[in-house]
């Protein structure tokens, strides 16, 4: 992380606190494609700030990403920063833009971040469309890293075992899997899916991994949850499309929102 990136995140955090009138936040959640409707179940909205009102943020370029930061007061009285959307590497603004939200949350004092996404399922024999899956580990195939220079970061446990155990207390049936991130915006090919299955991957997407790395660099505890929105390329007869992703999100919004609400109040 460059000094400029640190400074920009700190400036954005200060502007966020000024805009909301709050000095601290307990947890941050990044809502991926199709997850935005689930945010309504998290609690009472205290404030909403457009991304573009804060330094360093750009409006999301992808359908299904809301483009605002919502401050929510949960039923247990926790203060949550909810990012209704995110930037992606394929938008062309670089890795620092992708992780700016997570770094701003860290600068604002958050200690835990929940990263959600829509993912293709690589194990249709055990995964159903509409199922949430805990991310246990990841494979970074984006060709990018938000950390530059001689900062060496241990990634033995990117996604907190403690937080995953907590989620299993809420939903004992929830599965775990390894998430692979590609740069996008093209969907993967059937040959790539066969390769990833051989490597031991369970989920495929275009986000989350760079944010998780930046969060660990900042000392945050990370929880990752994928929503399986489609089988990977070549594992079903239908071609892949983004509208399918959003439709699954809409269909499962209530269920995912309840799950997240229960999790947040236990963090």
C-alpha to C-alpha distance for 254 and 246, rounded to whole angstroms: 14
Judge whether 225 and 157 are in contact, CB under 8 Å.
no
Contact 35, 116 (CB under 8 A): yes
* Inter-CA distances, 234 with 188, 204, 206, 240, 244, Å: 9, 13, 18, 10, 16
Beta-bridged to residue 116, according to DSSP, are 225
188 is catalytic: yes
DSSP-based three-state secondary structure for 256: helix
Which tokens belong to 238?
A: 């239908």
The closest of 224, 19, 207, 33 to 104, measured between CA atoms, is 19
Long-range contacts of 50-57 (CB under 8 A, 24+ apart): 51/85, 53/15, 53/19, 54/12, 54/15, 54/16, 54/19, 54/104, 55/8, 55/11, 55/12, 55/15, 56/8, 56/9, 56/11, 56/12, 56/97, 56/100, 56/104, 57/12, 57/100, 57/101, 57/104
Catalytic residue among 188, 192, 211, 247: 188
CB 132 within 8 A of CB 32: no
Annotated catalytic residues are 188
């Amino acid at each position: 992380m460059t000094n400029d990136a640190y400074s920009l995140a700190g400036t954005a955090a200060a502007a966020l606190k000024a805009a909301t009138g709050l000095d601290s936040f307990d947890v941050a959640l990044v809502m991926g494609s199709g997850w935005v409707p689930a945010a309504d179940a998290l609690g009472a909205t205290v404030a909403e700030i457009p991304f573009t009102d804060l330094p360093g943020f750009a409006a999301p370029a992808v359908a299904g990403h809301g483009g605002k930061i919502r401050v929510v007061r949960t039923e247990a009285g926790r203060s949550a920063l909810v990012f209704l959307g995110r930037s992606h590497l394929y938008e062309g603004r670089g890795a620092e833009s992708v992780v700016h939200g997570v770094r701003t949350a860290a600068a604002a004092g958050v200690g835990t971040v929940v990263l959600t996404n829509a993912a293709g399922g690589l194990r249709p024999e055990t995964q159903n469309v509409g199922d949430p899956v805990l991310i246990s580990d990841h494979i970074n195939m984006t060709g990018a890293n938000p950390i530059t220079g001689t900062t060496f970061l241990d990634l033995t446990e990117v996604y907190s075992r403690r937080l995953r155990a907590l989620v299993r207390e809420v939903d004992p049936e929830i599965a775990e899997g390894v998430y692979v991130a590609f740069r996008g915006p093209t969907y993967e090919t059937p040959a790539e899916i066969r390769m990833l299955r051989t490597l031991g991957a369970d989920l495929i997407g275009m986000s989350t991994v760079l944010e998780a790395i930046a969060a660990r660099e900042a000392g945050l505890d990370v929880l990752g949850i994928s929503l399986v929105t489609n089988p990977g390329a070549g594992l079903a007869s239908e071609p892949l499309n983004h509208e399918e992703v959003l439709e699954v999100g809409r269909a499962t919004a209530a269920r995912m929102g309840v799950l997240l609400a229960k999790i947040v109040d236990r963090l």
